[in-house]
Amino acid sequence: MAKEETFDVVIIGAGHNGTTTAAYLAKSGLSVLVLEERPEGGGAQETCEPIAGVRIQPHAIGNYGGSAPGWEQLQLWRYGFRMDYNPREPVQFDIERGPMARHGIVKVSQEDMMGWAKIVGLTTDPPFYRDLLRATFWTPPHPSYVELDENTIPYMQVYRDHLPELWTKEMLEWTMFDIMEQYIKSEPFMIHQAYIANVSGAFAHFPGVGVPAIECVATVMPPAVADPVAARGNMHGYYHAIFRCAVGNGAIIKTCCPVEEIIIEHGRAVGVRLRDDATWGPKRVNARKAVISACHIKPTFQKLIGPKNIDSGLMQKINDLSLKGGSLHMTHFLTKEDLRYKPQFKWRKEEPHEFTGAFYCMENKEIYWKNLECVLGRQENLDIPPEECMWGMVAHTNYAPTQPQSTRPGAYVNGPLWIMVPTPEYNVDGLDAMDKTAADKKKWEEYARATLSCIVENLDDDNLIQIWSDTPREQEFRNTGMLGGSWYGTRCDRDEWWNQRPLPEMARYRVPDIDGLYLAHQSAAHPGGLCLMAVAYNLMHILIEDGVVEPGPWWYASPWYVPEEGKISAVPGQGRV
C-alpha cells in the first residue's frame, strides 16, 4: 500500500494555468502540489531545440498577457522574468508594414489606424485600453443571478465610462467586423485584425463576442505588450518565471505523474489517485481544501471525475462542448540562406529588406469566407489553392539579436507558419487525415511551403535544409491539454464565453454538486487561453469567496468583480456579503 500524502490543494496539470494557480496559492501560504503528465511543465509555453542550435516554438509564440495583474501580484521579475527588446523592430504599430494581399503589401491609412486605436481605447486622455483588457479578461464572470446587459458586463461598463459615443446596447450583439466597420475603411486591414482574432480565440464573424474578439488582438499589440512580443527564453522563459514563483513559494511540482482519478467522497473532492505509470507510483494524494483541474474539461469529466459522480445530462453537455476552430497546422523552415521577400512584399523603404514574417492573404471577405467555409463549414482537408490560403508567420528577425533562434552555422530558422485547418475530431476526411502516413505529413509540409512561396522567392530545394511541422493531432498527443489540437480549449462563441464558459453552471469555476473541486483549464474557464495569467487570477476571487485561500496584502480584486451573496468577498476588507 503506497504511502498517502496530503496537501491543502492538489492541482492537476502544470501548464500555464495550473502553474499560475499554484503560484497564487503558494504565495498565499497554502501547501500546493501540482501533478503533470509530461516530462516537463509548461503546456503550450514550449521551446524545443530539435537539432543542435535551432530553437523553435511549437505552440504559444507571443506574450498576450502584458496587462495581467499577475506581473505585480506574483512579482515575476524576482524570478528572472525579462522581455526581449528588438532594436530592428518598431515599437509602435508600423503602418508601412501593412497586411499582405496576393498582389503585395496593402498600406494602412492613418485614419484606419486611428479608427482601430479608438475602438481599443487609445485615443482618450488618459487611454483606457488597460481597463478594457482587464475588464474583458481579468474579471471573473458575475454570479448567475446578475442580469447581464450593457450596464453590467465589465467591458461595456468601461466603454460607457470612457467612450460613451461608442457605447450602445447593440454592441453586445455585434461581431468584430460590425464594430470595425464603424471606424475602419480598409478591408485588408479589417481582415488582418480579424485573422489575428481568429487564431487567438474568438472569430471575427461571431455575433455577441465582438468586443472580446477585438481585445484578443489588442492584447498582443502595442502598447499592451511591446512589439515584438517575445519574452527572454521565449514563451518557455515566461513559463519559467511563473514556475519558479510557484516553487519559490513552496509549491511542489511533479512531472511524469499523470492522474487517474479525482477522488470524490460524500459530494466532495478529497484528493486524486495517480495512474499506474506515474513515476511517483499509483498513489493516492489527499487535498485538504481543494482539487483544481487544470487539464482539459473533457477528460476531467469523462475520465477523472467519471460518470459515477455526475449525471448523464451534464455529461452530455460536456461531450457537446465544441473543440472547433482553434486548430492550427504549424511549420518551421530551416534554410541555408535567409528567406527573401519577393519584391512586391518588401515593406521597408530602405535596405536591408530582412524577412520579418508575414500575415498573408489578408485581402477581402471573399477569401476570408473561402478559408473559414473549408475549416469550419465543410470541415475537410484544405482544398484552397495555396495562393489563397490565409496564414501568419513569425521570423527569426522578430526576436532580439541577443536571443538568436539559430546558432547553427549556416542555418536560418523561420517559423512557425500557422494555417487554420479543420479540427481532427470533426474532419470529415478522418481524424488522422493530415498525419496518418509520412506522405500525408509531407503533403501538408509542401502545402505550407507552397503558400509561403507566394511571398518568398528562395524556398527552393537548394536552399531548404529541413521542415518541422506538427499537425493538430500531433499537438494533442504531445500536449494533452490541446484536445483536438484546439489552441484555446473550446470555441469562444457566445454560448461558450464569459458567463457561459464552459457552461453556465460552471462559469464561476465551481463544479455543481461536487464541493472542493474547481476548474482552471483554458477549455473550462473564462477567459480561455493565450497564457494571460487570467484564469488563475479570476479563480482566486472564487477561492477567496469559498474560504479556501486568504491572500496577503499584495492581493487586489478586479474592480468589476461582483461578490456572490453569502460568500466572503474577494475585495480585501469587505468580509462576507
Partner 1 sequence: MMEFKGQKHPQSFFEEFPADSEWDVVIIGAGPNGLIAAAYLAKAGLKVALVERRYEIGGGLATEEILYPGYYSSMHAIYHMMVDYMPVLRDFDLGKHGLVWIKPNLQCSMVFENGDSILLTRMIEDTTDSISKYSFKDAQTFSKTMGRWRKIVNDIIAPMTYIPPMLPIEITMALQKEETGRELLELVEQSPLDVVTNLFENDRVRSLLLYNICTWGLDPRETGVGLFVALYLDRMMNKSYCQGGSHKMANSLGREIVRAGGVILDSSDVIDIHMKGGKVAGVELWEGRTLHTKCVISTLDPRTTFLDLVGAENLPSDLKDSIEGWHYDKWSFNTLHTVSEEMPRYLPKDPWASESFMTIFGFEGMDAMLEHWDNVVAGKLDQKCLGGHATCESFWDTHLVRVPPEKAHRQVSFFQHHAPYNLEKGGWDKRGPEIENMILKKWAKYAPNMKKENIVQTNQETPKDIEIRFPNMRYGSIKHGDYRPVQLGCFRPNQDCSSTKTPVEGLYVGGASVYPGGCVLGGGGYQVANKVIEDLGGKKWWKPTREMERCIKTYLGG
Q: Which of residues 225-244 bind partner 1 (CB under 8 A)?
A: 225-226, 232-234, 236-237, 240, 244
- Closest approach of Cβ 473 to partner 1, in Å? 6
In the complex, least distance from residue 491 CB atom to partner 1, rounded to whole angstroms: 22
Alpha-carbon gap, residue 2 to 281, rounded angstroms: 8
Per-residue DSSP letter, 25: H
Alpha carbon separation from 93 to 100, 201, 276, 393, 396 (Å, rounded):
15, 21, 51, 17, 19
Q: Is 83 in the site for partner 1 (CB under 8 A)?
A: yes
Single residue of 220, 247, 285, 455 touching partner 1 by CB under 8 A: 247
Name the residue type at position 174: W
Say whether residue 509 binds partner 1 (CB under 8 A).
no
Considering beta carbons, is residue 15 or 516 the nearer one to partner 1? 15
- Name, in order, each residue with C-beta under 8 angstroms of 366's C-beta and a sequence gap of 6 or more: none
Residue with cell 513559463: 239
Question: From the list 108, 119, 224, 384, which residue makes contact with partner 1 (rule: CB under 8 A)?
Answer: 224
Does 554 contact partner 1 by CB under 8 A?
no
Residue span 172-211 as binding mask against partner 1, x where in contact by CB under 8 A, dash where not:
----------------------------------------
Check binding of 421 to partner 1 (CB under 8 A).
Answer: no
Q: In angstroms, what is the minimal distance from the CB of 307 to partner 1?
A: 21
The reply on whether position 437 binds partner 1 by CB under 8 A is no
Q: Is 150 exposed, middle or buried (0-12, 13-18, 19+ CB in 10 A)?
A: middle
Specify the stretch interacting with partner 1 by CB under 8 A; choose among 139-147, 154-162, 179-187, 217-225. Answer: 217-225
Span of 76-84, 139-147, 315-323, 346-354 interacting with partner 1 by CB under 8 A: 76-84
Kindly state whether residue 567 participates in binding partner 1, applying the rule CB under 8 A.
no
Question: Quick check: 403 binds partner 1 (CB under 8 A)?
Answer: yes
In the complex, minimum distance from the CB of residue 277 to partner 1, in angstroms, rounded to a whole number: 6
CA distances from 524 to 162, 298, 412, 428 (A): 31, 9, 39, 26
Question: DSSP labels for 374-421?
Answer: IIIII-SS--S-GGG--EEE--GGGS-TTS-SB-STT-EEEEEEEEE-
Cell readout for 273 is 489517485
Residue count at the site for partner 1 (CB under 8 A)? 74
Q: How far is the CB of 344 from partner 1 (least distance, A)?
A: 30
Give yes or no for a contact between 558 and 541, defined as CB atoms under 8 angstroms apart: yes
Per-residue contact string for residues 446-475; x = within reach of partner 1 by CB under 8 A: ----------------------xxx--xxx
Q: Of these, 29, 104, 248, 282, which contacts partner 1 (CB under 8 A)?
A: 248
Least separation in angstroms between CB 175 and partner 1: 29
Residues 3-42 that bind partner 1 (CB under 8 A): 38-40
47 binds partner 1 (CB under 8 A): yes
CB 568 within 8 A of CB 544: yes
Which of 68/190 has CB closer to partner 1? 68
Q: From the CB of 52, what's the least distance to partner 1, in Å?
A: 4
**Cα-Cα-Cα-Cα dihedral sign, residues 250, 291, 526, 46:** positive
According to CB under 8 A, which one of 111, 277, 311, 446 is a site residue for partner 1? 277
Q: Are strands 104-105 and 412-420 parallel, antiparallel or unpaired?
A: unpaired
Rounded distance between C-alpha atoms, residue 175 and residue 196, angstroms: 14
Residue in 3, 23, 513 with CA at minimum distance from that of residue 269: 513
* Residues contacting 13, CB < 8 A, separation 6+: 34, 35, 36, 37, 43, 293, 294, 295, 481, 520, 521
In angstroms, what is the minimal distance from the CB of 26 to partner 1?
11
Spatial contact of 217 and 230, defined as CB atoms under 8 Å apart: no
Q: Are 334 and 412 in contact (CB under 8 A)?
A: yes
Find the shortest distance in angstroms from Cβ 20 to partner 1.
15
Residue 6 Cβ, how far from partner 1 at the closest point, in Å? Answer: 14
Shortest gap between Cβ of 423 and partner 1 (angstroms)? Answer: 14
To the nearest whole angstrom, how small is the minimum distance from the Cβ of residue 78 to partner 1?
7
Closest Cα partner for 451 from 360, 548, 559?
Answer: 360
Closest to partner 1 by CB, 182 or 279: 279
x/- binding map, residues 116-145, to partner 1, per CB under 8 A? ------------------------------
- Give the angle subtended at the CA of 571 by the CAs of 569 and 576, to the nearest 5°: 25
Choose which of 80, 267, 307, 504 interacts with partner 1 (CB under 8 A). 80
Q: CA 549, CA 29: separation in Å to the nearest integer?
A: 8
- Shorter beta-carbon distance to partner 1: residue 66 or 527: 66
Reduce the DSSP state of residue 428 to 3 states and report it.
coil
- Give min distance, CB of 169 to partner 1, in A: 33
For partner 1, the closer of residues 50 and 512 by Cβ is 50
Asked if residue 256 binds partner 1 (CB under 8 A), the reply is yes
* 110/402 with CB nearer partner 1: 402
Segment interacting with partner 1, rule: CB under 8 A, options 70-78, 189-197, 206-214, 381-389: 70-78
Range in contact with partner 1 (rule: CB under 8 A) among 254-262, 367-375, 526-534, 567-575: 254-262
Q: Tell me the three-class secondary structure of 232-286, residue by residue.
A: CCHHHHHHHHHHHHHHHCCCEEECCCCEEEEEEECCEEEEEEECCCCCCCCCEEE
Secondary structure class of 104 (helix, strand, coil) = strand
* The binder of partner 1 chosen from 250, 282, 559, 572 (CB under 8 A): 250
Min dist CB 63 to partner 1, Å, is: 10
Helix, strand, coil: what percent of the chain each, to 5?
35, 15, 50
Q: CA-to-CA distance for 356 and 399, rounded, in angstroms?
A: 10
Instruction: Return the range that interacts with partner 1 (CB under 8 A); candidates 68-76, 142-150, 167-175, 504-512.
Output: 68-76
